[in-house]
Amino acid sequence: MYLGVNVDHVATLRQARGTVYPDPVEAARLAAEAGAAGITVHLREDRRHIQDRDVRAMRREQPLPLNLEMGNTLEMVEIALQVMPDEVCLVPEKREELTTEGGLDVVGHYAALEASCARFRDAGIAVSLFVDPDPEQIEASIRLGVPMVELHTGAFCECGGAARQACMEQLRSAALQAHSAGIQVNAGHGLTVGNLPDLFPVPHLHTLNIGHSLVSRAVLIGMKAAVSEMLAVMRGYTGGLTR
Ligand code: PXP
């Protein structure tokens, strides 16, 4: 299992004061030194945290594979094709939301996604779709021919007890469905060192993309220590993949 570190909220802190620090690229380098496998940034339409220049700098100035999270808009597709990240993760995006709410409606936006996926495939950029663990959405993702999906763990993280168990079962079945079609299974949203062990019964998890809790912890103990702490928890995973 691999850790992808989302450094958006390093930029949130910078944008809060309009300063040049803290630098998300520096955070990415520290995450790399601590054993992260990839870096994610989400260039939002409203540019509330990551800026266009951050995406370009991230491509040039840190050593890890770059995953660009983005809405499926013409503007973002053009930017991605210029920057050439290793991967793009297509997410739904609403201006008013605090963070990405819910997965992509692959069924409802099939034609638009098909067009963008074809452009990315031609450019050699791997596409991931951020989806709820819903069999219809996974089925549509399989039909689109994407190499990866990222399962939305938000609902799983927000509830506890029996409800969390039910969410975990949905994630488990979605992971099996995607994996049996040959699709790489990633997961993310809301994951912390506290809730991560409850995710471990989900098989075939390849990469976990984690941001807010890691950056929050990094404010207190430093980025390298926060990444090491998360990796130590991830080592308890026995779901079929090892680093
Ligand atoms: N994966 C996706 C697709 C996301 O939109 C986000 C949030 O930007 C994350 C992972 C990371 O979520 P969090 O910041 O809650 O760890």
- 153-169 pLDDT per residue, tens: 999 999 988 999 999 99
Provide the pLDDT for residue 242: 46
Element (H, E) at 141: helix 135-144
Q: How far apart are CA 123 and CA 84, in angstroms?
A: 8
Ligand 1 centre from 214 Cα, in Å?
Answer: 11
Provide the pLDDT for residue 17: 98
The string over 212-238, giving b where at least 16 C-beta atoms fall within 10 Å of a residue's C-beta and e elsewhere, is: bbbbebbeeeebbebbebbbebbeebe
Q: Which domains does the chain have, with CATH numbers?
A: 2-236 (3.20.20.70)
42 is an active site residue = yes
Contact between residue 240 and residue 203 where contact means Cβ atoms under 8 Å apart = yes
pTM: 0.95
Backbone angles phi, psi at 240, to 5 degrees: 120, -15
pLDDT, one tens digit per residue, over 187-228 is: 999 999 999 999 999 999 999 999 999 999 999 999 999 999
Whether 55 lines ligand 1, by a CB cut-off of 6 Å, is no
Provide the pLDDT for residue 239: 72
| Cβ within 8 Å of residue 4, ≥6 positions away | 36, 37, 38, 39, 40, 67, 186, 188, 207, 208, 209, 210
What does the pLDDT average to over 52-68?
A: 98
Provide the pLDDT for residue 238: 78
Q: What is the mean pLDDT of the chain?
A: 95
CA distances 37 to 3, 61, 70, 193, Å, are 5, 15, 20, 17
Provide the pLDDT for residue 101: 73
Q: How far apart are CA 72 and CA 52, in angstroms?
A: 16
pLDDT, one tens digit per residue, over 93-131 is: 876 677 667 899 999 999 999 999 999 999 999 999 999
Q: Is the pLDDT of residue 45 over 80?
A: yes
Mutate to test the pocket of ligand 1, among 45, 186, 212, 214 (most ligand atoms within 8 A of CB): 212
The string over 89-116, giving b where at least 16 C-beta atoms fall within 10 Å of a residue's C-beta and e elsewhere, is: bbbbbeeeeeebebbbbbeeeeeebeeb
Task: Report residue 222 as tokens.
Answer: 């430093």
Provide the pLDDT for residue 96: 66
Q: How far apart are CA 212 and CA 81, in angstroms?
A: 27
User: Which pLDDT band holds residue 240 (cuts at 50, 70, 90)?
Assistant: low
Whether 67 lines ligand 1, by a CB cut-off of 6 Å, is no
